[in-house]
Homo-oligomer: A and B are copies of this chain.
Amino acid sequence: MTGLITKGKAVFNKETEYALRGLVYVQVQNYKGFKPGIAEIAAEIDAPPFYTGKIMQRLVKQGFLSSIKGKGGGFLFEEQKPELPLKIVIQAIEGTKTYAGCGFGLKHCDEEHPCPLHEQFAPIRNSINDLITLNTVQSLARDYHGLDNMLLGSLRR
């Protein structure tokens, strides 16, 4: 039997999660003067190493960050580049229609053609959009300042 009672869905897909965590980790290390490599990134963000490599390479190809091959190489953000909103990354991976459509799955979503969920759902969707627009890889990396581990017990004050 397939379908009912599966594992449970996250907000973003795995590739997006790994990409976001990877980018933030790179920026955290960059702020400390380091350029992490794939093996280190994968270990620190708890992602499959080879898959992490593939994802990081895609991000470089998209121009989100730079990489250096060979000894002493790794990944880094060019300092002159503007901050990178999470939304840009998410949409590059999941498509531009992410969190833009009707929660009920209808073709059109607007005030003229609202589904029964629209009034309650639209503000939530707007909040999500604000969240991923206002937060950047850099702002999250700054939040991690001074922490040695991204994965557990992060921002306790």
Interface residues of A (CB under 8 A from B): 3-15, 17-18, 20-21, 24, 46, 54-55, 58, 61-62, 92-101, 103-108, 112-118, 120-121, 123-124, 127-128, 131, 135, 139-140, 143-144, 151-156
Contact = CB atoms under 8 A, between A and B. Distances in A.
A100 B10 CA distance: 8
Interface of A is mostly: loop
B143 A105 contact: no
Contact of A156 (B62, B96, B99, B112): B112
B113 A124 contact: no
A93 B11 contact: no
A103 B21 CA distance: 11
A97 B152 contact: no
Given A21-B104, A124-B128, A155 B114 contact: yes
A6 B94 contact: yes
Nearest to A13: B9
A105 B45 CA distance: 10
- Among A128, A139, A143, A152, chain B packs the most CB atoms within 10 A around the CB of A128
A10 to B, nearest CB: 6
A105 B154 contact: no
A21 B143 CA distance: 41
B105 A21 contact: yes
